[in-house]
Amino acid sequence: MKISIGNDHAGPDYKKAIVKHLEEKGITVINHGTDTFDSVDYPDFVHPVAEDVATGIANFGIIICGSGNGVAMTANKHKGIRAALCWIKEIAELARRHNDANIISIPARYTSIQQAIGMVDVFLNTEFEGGRHQNRVDKIACK
């Protein structure tokens, strides 16, 4: 499995902990995030993650900013991307199970690092349920 990750200045500590956690599990991580707390523009770090997922370079993406909203909005502009803003494990699970989300958006200012790692684990280990949900997912993208 290959994961692409990106973050702005609100998420370097989160990214570092998540990358370490994933690499310890043998997962390859492509890092597009900043490593500093200096103010940056989150789209510069999110567009590469969305491109990695959209083109199949990565299986899934992880994006992190203060609220999780800006990065999710940015990623969702890409065709084939379904970025889900998650703040608890149950939302991360439903995002995968019902919405076939392929990028998880984490709000660093509203979750702990341990919560974020738990959400990532649930997100990556939950399969899309398909069935009645497939028809809904098929209607998400604009034509």
Q: Where do the structural domains in the chain lie, given as residue ranges?
A: 2-138
pLDDT of residue 12: 98
**Residue 133 and residue 98 in contact, taking contact as beta carbons nearer than 8 Å:** yes
DSSP alpha helix (H) spans, the chain: 12-24, 43-54, 69-75, 89-99, 113-125, 132-138
Q: What distance in Å separates the CA atoms of residue 24 and residue 68, rounded to the nearest whole number?
A: 25
Catalytic residue among 9, 32, 65, 86: 65
Instruction: Domain 2-138: give its CATH code.
Output: 3.40.1400.10
Give the closest residue to 61 by CA, choosing from 83, 89, 93. Answer: 83
Query: Which pLDDT band holds residue 13 (cuts at 50, 70, 90)?
Result: very high
Catalytic residue among 9, 21, 32, 98: 98
Single pTM value for the model: 0.97
| pLDDT tens digits, 18-35 | 999 999 999 999 999 999
Catalytic residue flag (residue 65): yes
Q: What distance in Å separates the CA atoms of residue 123 and residue 107, rounded to the nearest whole number?
A: 15
What three-state secondary structure class fits 27? coil
Catalytic residue flag (residue 142): no
